[in-house]
Amino acid sequence: MPSFGAQKGVTSESSSVFHLWQGFSIGAVVIGGFVVVIFVYAIVRFRRKGDNIPRQSQYHLPAEVAYTVVPILVVFGLFAATLVVENKEVSNPKTDVIVNVNAFQWGWKFTYPGTHTSVIGQTTQAPTMVIPVNTNVHINLTSTDVLHGFYVKEFNFSRYALPGVLNQFTINAVKTGTFFGQCTQLCGLYHSLMFFNVKVVTMPEYTAWLAKTSNASTSSAAATATNQQTNTGVPTKPATSQGGN
Protein backbone atom coordinates (compact mmCIF):
# COMPACT_ATOMS: atom_id res chain seq x y z
CA MET A 1 0.00 0.00 0.00
CA PRO A 2 1.42 3.42 -0.85
CA SER A 3 2.66 5.57 2.02
CA PHE A 4 1.04 8.82 0.84
CA GLY A 5 4.06 10.78 2.03
CA ALA A 6 4.04 9.64 5.63
CA GLN A 7 6.43 7.21 7.27
CA LYS A 8 5.94 4.29 9.56
CA GLY A 9 8.06 5.79 12.31
CA VAL A 10 9.88 3.94 15.07
CA THR A 11 7.28 3.37 17.76
CA SER A 12 4.33 1.03 17.91
CA GLU A 13 2.03 4.07 18.15
CA SER A 14 3.60 5.72 15.13
CA SER A 15 2.83 2.72 12.95
CA SER A 16 -0.83 2.82 14.02
CA VAL A 17 -0.90 6.50 13.08
CA PHE A 18 0.72 5.61 9.79
CA HIS A 19 -1.98 3.04 8.99
CA LEU A 20 -4.68 5.55 9.95
CA TRP A 21 -3.00 8.00 7.63
CA GLN A 22 -3.14 5.46 4.82
CA GLY A 23 -6.84 4.86 5.47
CA PHE A 24 -7.66 8.57 5.40
CA SER A 25 -5.55 8.99 2.27
CA ILE A 26 -7.39 6.25 0.41
CA GLY A 27 -10.67 7.95 1.29
CA ALA A 28 -9.30 11.31 0.19
CA VAL A 29 -7.95 9.94 -3.08
CA VAL A 30 -11.17 8.11 -3.94
CA ILE A 31 -13.50 11.00 -3.09
CA GLY A 32 -11.15 13.71 -4.34
CA GLY A 33 -10.48 11.73 -7.50
CA PHE A 34 -14.18 11.30 -8.17
CA VAL A 35 -14.82 15.02 -7.67
CA VAL A 36 -11.91 16.00 -9.89
CA VAL A 37 -13.09 13.63 -12.63
CA ILE A 38 -16.66 14.96 -12.75
CA PHE A 39 -15.34 18.51 -12.37
CA VAL A 40 -12.97 18.19 -15.30
CA TYR A 41 -15.63 16.35 -17.31
CA ALA A 42 -18.06 19.22 -16.70
CA ILE A 43 -15.47 21.78 -17.77
CA VAL A 44 -14.61 19.93 -20.97
CA ARG A 45 -18.04 18.68 -21.91
CA PHE A 46 -20.22 21.69 -21.15
CA ARG A 47 -18.20 24.47 -22.70
CA ARG A 48 -20.30 27.18 -24.25
CA LYS A 49 -21.07 26.39 -27.87
CA GLY A 50 -23.52 29.09 -28.74
CA ASP A 51 -26.02 31.40 -27.25
CA ASN A 52 -28.56 28.72 -26.34
CA ILE A 53 -29.97 28.75 -22.90
CA PRO A 54 -29.65 25.34 -21.27
CA ARG A 55 -32.41 23.56 -19.39
CA GLN A 56 -32.87 25.41 -16.10
CA SER A 57 -32.94 22.35 -13.86
CA GLN A 58 -32.38 23.12 -10.23
CA TYR A 59 -33.03 20.04 -8.13
CA HIS A 60 -32.27 16.35 -8.51
CA LEU A 61 -33.49 14.25 -5.62
CA PRO A 62 -31.42 11.06 -5.92
CA ALA A 63 -28.17 12.94 -6.48
CA GLU A 64 -28.73 15.25 -3.55
CA VAL A 65 -29.57 12.37 -1.22
CA ALA A 66 -26.53 10.43 -2.42
CA TYR A 67 -24.04 13.19 -1.82
CA THR A 68 -25.47 13.87 1.60
CA VAL A 69 -25.72 10.30 2.87
CA VAL A 70 -22.47 8.94 1.46
CA PRO A 71 -20.26 11.61 3.10
CA ILE A 72 -22.03 11.05 6.43
CA LEU A 73 -21.25 7.33 6.24
CA VAL A 74 -17.65 8.07 5.27
CA VAL A 75 -17.31 10.50 8.17
CA PHE A 76 -18.53 7.97 10.71
CA GLY A 77 -16.17 5.37 9.26
CA LEU A 78 -13.24 7.74 9.61
CA PHE A 79 -14.35 8.63 13.13
CA ALA A 80 -14.46 4.97 14.16
CA ALA A 81 -10.94 4.38 12.84
CA THR A 82 -9.80 7.57 14.59
CA LEU A 83 -11.16 6.38 17.93
CA VAL A 84 -9.24 3.11 17.75
CA VAL A 85 -5.88 4.80 17.19
CA GLU A 86 -6.66 7.67 19.54
CA ASN A 87 -7.49 5.32 22.42
CA LYS A 88 -4.22 3.54 21.86
CA GLU A 89 -2.30 6.82 21.94
CA VAL A 90 -3.95 8.31 25.01
CA SER A 91 -3.94 5.13 27.09
CA ASN A 92 -1.13 5.10 29.59
CA PRO A 93 -0.17 1.48 30.30
CA LYS A 94 1.69 0.86 33.53
CA THR A 95 5.44 0.92 33.17
CA ASP A 96 8.61 1.33 35.19
CA VAL A 97 10.48 3.56 32.78
CA ILE A 98 9.49 7.12 33.43
CA VAL A 99 11.10 10.27 32.02
CA ASN A 100 10.23 13.74 33.19
CA VAL A 101 10.62 16.18 30.34
CA ASN A 102 10.75 19.83 31.18
CA ALA A 103 10.79 22.44 28.43
CA PHE A 104 12.03 25.95 29.00
CA GLN A 105 13.18 28.91 26.92
CA TRP A 106 15.06 27.56 24.96
CA GLY A 107 16.01 24.04 25.88
CA TRP A 108 15.04 20.74 27.40
CA LYS A 109 15.69 18.93 30.64
CA PHE A 110 15.22 15.18 30.90
CA THR A 111 15.18 13.70 34.38
CA TYR A 112 14.75 10.06 35.32
CA PRO A 113 12.83 9.81 38.60
CA GLY A 114 14.29 7.38 41.09
CA THR A 115 17.78 8.00 39.79
CA HIS A 116 20.12 10.93 39.91
CA THR A 117 20.33 11.24 36.16
CA SER A 118 19.33 14.43 34.50
CA VAL A 119 20.23 15.68 31.06
CA ILE A 120 19.91 19.30 30.12
CA GLY A 121 20.83 21.39 27.14
CA GLN A 122 19.90 24.59 25.42
CA THR A 123 19.36 25.67 21.83
CA THR A 124 21.78 24.06 19.41
CA GLN A 125 23.61 22.20 22.13
CA ALA A 126 20.84 19.67 22.00
CA PRO A 127 20.38 17.35 24.97
CA THR A 128 19.77 13.68 24.37
CA MET A 129 17.02 11.65 25.95
CA VAL A 130 17.99 7.99 26.25
CA ILE A 131 15.20 5.43 26.33
CA PRO A 132 15.12 1.63 26.06
CA VAL A 133 13.73 -0.19 23.05
CA ASN A 134 10.59 -2.38 23.11
CA THR A 135 9.52 -0.94 26.45
CA ASN A 136 6.67 1.35 27.39
CA VAL A 137 8.24 4.67 28.30
CA HIS A 138 6.05 7.05 30.23
CA ILE A 139 6.72 10.73 29.64
CA ASN A 140 5.66 13.51 32.00
CA LEU A 141 5.83 16.72 30.03
CA THR A 142 5.90 20.13 31.71
CA SER A 143 7.01 23.65 30.93
CA THR A 144 8.51 26.26 33.19
CA ASP A 145 7.69 29.40 31.20
CA VAL A 146 5.77 29.52 27.92
CA LEU A 147 4.23 26.93 25.60
CA HIS A 148 6.55 24.52 23.85
CA GLY A 149 5.94 21.63 21.51
CA PHE A 150 7.55 18.22 22.02
CA TYR A 151 7.87 16.74 18.55
CA VAL A 152 9.89 13.88 17.13
CA LYS A 153 9.19 13.19 13.51
CA GLU A 154 9.88 9.46 13.77
CA PHE A 155 7.29 9.17 16.55
CA ASN A 156 4.56 10.70 14.35
CA PHE A 157 3.56 12.51 17.49
CA SER A 158 3.66 15.90 19.15
CA ARG A 159 2.36 17.30 22.39
CA TYR A 160 2.40 20.77 23.95
CA ALA A 161 4.38 21.46 27.08
CA LEU A 162 2.12 23.74 29.07
CA PRO A 163 2.97 25.73 32.16
CA GLY A 164 0.87 24.54 35.08
CA VAL A 165 -0.24 21.35 33.35
CA LEU A 166 1.25 17.87 33.55
CA ASN A 167 0.93 16.21 30.16
CA GLN A 168 1.45 12.46 30.11
CA PHE A 169 1.87 10.02 27.30
CA THR A 170 3.52 6.70 26.63
CA ILE A 171 5.74 5.69 23.76
CA ASN A 172 7.05 2.30 22.83
CA ALA A 173 10.01 2.48 20.48
CA VAL A 174 10.55 -0.60 18.34
CA LYS A 175 13.80 0.43 16.67
CA THR A 176 17.12 1.58 18.04
CA GLY A 177 18.86 4.69 16.77
CA THR A 178 19.11 8.40 17.38
CA PHE A 179 16.22 10.59 16.32
CA PHE A 180 16.03 14.34 15.99
CA GLY A 181 13.41 16.35 17.84
CA GLN A 182 12.49 19.98 17.85
CA CYS A 183 10.18 22.46 19.56
CA THR A 184 7.18 23.04 17.30
CA GLN A 185 5.23 25.67 19.22
CA LEU A 186 6.41 29.26 18.95
CA CYS A 187 8.18 30.08 22.20
CA GLY A 188 10.10 33.26 21.49
CA LEU A 189 13.34 34.36 19.93
CA TYR A 190 15.29 31.07 19.67
CA HIS A 191 12.28 28.87 18.94
CA SER A 192 13.84 27.69 15.70
CA LEU A 193 16.95 26.44 17.52
CA MET A 194 15.34 24.50 20.35
CA PHE A 195 16.54 21.02 19.46
CA PHE A 196 16.90 17.71 21.25
CA ASN A 197 17.71 14.10 20.39
CA VAL A 198 16.12 10.86 21.39
CA LYS A 199 18.48 7.90 21.55
CA VAL A 200 16.78 4.51 21.62
CA VAL A 201 19.08 1.78 22.97
CA THR A 202 18.66 -1.83 24.12
CA MET A 203 17.55 -2.45 27.67
CA PRO A 204 21.02 -3.55 28.95
CA GLU A 205 22.64 -0.51 27.38
CA TYR A 206 19.99 1.69 28.95
CA THR A 207 20.49 0.21 32.40
CA ALA A 208 24.25 0.62 32.10
CA TRP A 209 23.91 4.20 30.93
CA LEU A 210 21.53 5.01 33.75
CA ALA A 211 23.82 3.51 36.37
CA LYS A 212 26.82 5.36 35.02
CA THR A 213 25.16 8.75 34.72
CA SER A 214 23.31 8.37 37.98
CA ASN A 215 26.56 7.85 39.85
CA ALA A 216 28.27 10.63 38.00
CA SER A 217 25.44 12.93 38.86
CA THR A 218 25.67 12.14 42.55
CA SER A 219 29.29 13.11 42.61
CA SER A 220 28.77 16.25 40.66
CA ALA A 221 25.90 18.21 39.27
CA ALA A 222 28.04 18.98 36.27
CA ALA A 223 28.24 17.37 32.90
CA THR A 224 28.33 13.63 32.36
CA ALA A 225 29.15 11.59 29.35
CA THR A 226 25.97 12.50 27.57
CA ASN A 227 25.36 15.85 29.13
CA GLN A 228 26.25 18.48 26.67
CA GLN A 229 25.83 21.33 29.04
CA THR A 230 24.38 22.09 32.42
CA ASN A 231 21.84 24.70 33.11
CA THR A 232 23.69 27.68 34.40
CA GLY A 233 20.58 29.74 34.52
CA VAL A 234 21.91 32.07 31.87
CA PRO A 235 20.42 31.78 28.42
CA THR A 236 23.06 30.69 25.99
CA LYS A 237 23.55 32.27 22.65
CA PRO A 238 22.96 29.75 19.90
CA ALA A 239 25.89 28.39 17.99
CA THR A 240 25.05 30.32 14.86
CA SER A 241 26.41 33.80 14.79
CA GLN A 242 23.08 35.24 13.81
CA GLY A 243 21.07 36.49 16.69
CA GLY A 244 18.09 38.62 17.31
CA ASN A 245 18.31 42.02 18.78
Partner 1 sequence: MADLLNPAAELADDGHGHGHHEEHHGPTGILKWMTTTDHKIIGLSYTVTSVAMLVIGGLFAEIIRAQLATPDGHLVSLAQYNELFTMHGSVMIYLFAGPFAFGGLANIIVPIQIGAPDMAFPRLNALSYWLYLTGAITMLLGFFTSGGAANFGWVAYAPLSNSLNTPGAGADLWIGGLLLTGFSAIFTGVNLTATIFYLRAPGMTMFRMPIFTWNMLVTAILILLAFPVLTAGLIMLYCDRHFGTHIFSTAGGGVPVLWQHIFWFWGHPEVYILALPFFGMATEIIAVFSKKPVFGYKSMVFATLSIGALSLGVWAHHMFTTGVVLLPFFSIMSLLIAVPTGIKIFNWIGTMWRGELWFSTAMLMSLGFLFTFLIGGLTGVYLASPPLDFFTHDTYFVVAHFHSIVMALVLAGMGGLYFWGPKITGYMLNERLGKAQFWLLFIGTQVFTFPQYILGLDGMPRRVPLYIHNPEWKMLNEWSTIGAVMVGISTIIFVVNVGYSWKRYPAGDNPWDAQTLEWFTTSPPPHHNFYRLPQIRSERPTWDYNHPEHKSLAHGAGAGAEHQPTPLAAAVTVLEHGQDEGPNEGANE
Does position 54 bind partner 1 by CB under 8 A? Answer: yes
Identify which of residues 144 and 215 has a Cβ nearer to partner 1 in the complex: 144
Nearest to 195 by CA among 100, 129, 108: 108
Q: How far is the CB of 132 from partner 1 (least distance, A)?
A: 23
> Residue 168: beta bridge partners?
140
Taking contact as CB under 8 A, which single stretch among the options 57-65, 198-206, 210-218, 221-229 is the one that binds partner 1? 57-65
Q: How far is the CB of 202 from partner 1 (least distance, A)?
A: 25
| List 8, 12, 15, 86, residue binding partner 1 (CB under 8 A) | 86
Does position 193 bind partner 1 by CB under 8 A? Answer: yes
Does position 104 bind partner 1 by CB under 8 A? Answer: no
Identify which of residues 164 and 204 has a Cβ nearer to partner 1 in the complex: 164
CB 143 within 8 A of CB 103: yes
According to CB under 8 A, which residues from 122 to 181 bind partner 1? 124, 145-147, 149, 151, 153, 156-160, 162-165, 167-169, 180
Identify which of residues 49 and 94 has a Cβ nearer to partner 1 in the complex: 49
Does position 94 bind partner 1 by CB under 8 A? Answer: no
CB 150 within 8 A of CB 159: yes
Identify which of residues 54 and 233 has a Cβ nearer to partner 1 in the complex: 54
- Kindly give the pairing relationship between strand 195-201 and strand 128-132: parallel
Does position 189 bind partner 1 by CB under 8 A? Answer: yes
**Angstrom distance (rounded) from CA 131 to CA 204:** 11
According to CB under 8 A, which residues from 200 to 239 bind partner 1? none
CB 95 within 8 A of CB 137: yes
**Angstrom distance (rounded) from CA 185 to CA 183:** 6
Three-state secondary-structure class, residue 115: coil
Does position 72 bind partner 1 by CB under 8 A? Answer: yes
| List 102, 117, 170, 185, residue binding partner 1 (CB under 8 A) | 185
Chain-centre distance for alpha carbon 159: 7
Measure Cα distances from 201 to 21, 98, 100, 134, 224 in Å.
28, 15, 18, 9, 18
CB 51 within 8 A of CB 112: no
Q: How far is the CB of 79 from partner 1 (least distance, A)?
A: 5
